[in-house]
Amino acid sequence: MLRRYTIVILIQVLIMGLMVCTGSAQAGSFYTGAEIGYASHRFKPEYDYTYDRPNSGFVNMAYGSEIGWIGGYRFNLNDQIAAGVQGRFGINTAEWSVDTPSPSQLNYRISPVAVISFQPDIAVTKTLSLMLEAGIGQGLIKEKKDAPSSSRYDFSDWTTGYLAGVGLKYHFVAGVSFFVMYRYMAYDKIDYQTFLPDGTHWETVSDRPSSTTISLGFSWDIGH
């Protein structure tokens, strides 16, 4: 229930921000573009055992490349400040996996990811601007363990995440921009159970994954 209220409030804030800005905005334009960069995921699974044993926790890191598509609407508030509402869809290769002597194989990843965000753009010079970003989205989180003789699990679900970002944008041709962007996305807590080969419940696992991305990209205003 709390998760639903949080999502509703964030969406309302985005909509209200857009309405306030557009009320005093100059002419704007739709834009589209693409990004490529680096992604890392942080998984922190904690195991709550059904038998008499203390909980255990781990930190698993995944690293890889990422590509993304962006599109949105940007409008000018004045000569120095612009703002936009942006949609982004990205996929990445960041994956954590390990084979254990048990034997067992573990595999964790988050891809694809879809986000809608509010993005103020503050001019530093005539060609350089500071970008800020705040948004909400969904990532497909997968945490899987295959084991023929021990506990196993297979969690796969779209999970809500909250995004914050900062970057720099360079405009050198009318309607075309290049940018570098740092983003951090924290996901809601997930919970799932593990089972033995005979179907016996063995553990309850909880995790709060997060992701960090650094991207280089470009965008162009549609119509230019």
pTM score of the predicted model: 0.84
Q: What is the predicted pLDDT for the residue at 21?
A: 47
Q: What is the domain count for the chain?
A: 1
Lowest mean pLDDT among 8-12, 127-131, 141-145, 203-207: 8-12
Under a CB-based contact definition with an 8 Å cutoff, are residues 155 and 141 in contact?
Answer: yes
Lowest mean pLDDT among 6-15, 41-50, 124-133: 6-15
Q: Given a cut of 50, is residue 93 above it in pLDDT?
A: yes
Mean of pLDDT values over 23-47: 87
Q: How far apart are CA 129 and CA 169, in angstroms?
A: 5
Q: Given a cut of 60, is residue 212 above it in pLDDT?
A: yes
Q: What is the predicted pLDDT for the residue at 24?
A: 46
Q: Given a cut of 50, is residue 5 above it in pLDDT?
A: no
Q: Given a cut of 60, is residue 8 above it in pLDDT?
A: no
Q: What is the predicted pLDDT for the residue at 51?
A: 78
Element (H, E) at 8: helix 2-23
Q: How far apart are CA 67 and CA 43, in angstroms?
A: 21
Per-residue confidence at 151, pLDDT binned at 50, 70, 90? confident
Q: For 101, list phi and psi in degrees, rounded to 5.
A: -70, -5
- 189-197 — which CB contacts under 8 Å span 24+ positions? 190/141, 190/143, 190/155, 190/157, 190/159, 192/143, 192/153, 192/155, 193/153, 194/47, 194/145, 194/151, 194/152, 194/153, 195/151, 195/152, 195/153, 196/150, 196/151, 196/152, 197/148, 197/149, 197/152
What CATH number did the domain enclosing 160 receive?
A: 2.40.160.20
Per-residue confidence at 10, pLDDT binned at 50, 70, 90? low
Q: What is the predicted pLDDT for the residue at 140?
A: 98
Under a CB-based contact definition with an 8 Å cutoff, are residues 183 and 135 in contact?
Answer: no
Q: For the chain, give the mean pLDDT.
A: 88
Range of the domain at 144: 2-221
Q: Are strands 46-49 and 210-221 parallel, antiparallel or unpaired?
A: unpaired
Q: What is the predicted pLDDT for the residue at 6?
A: 47
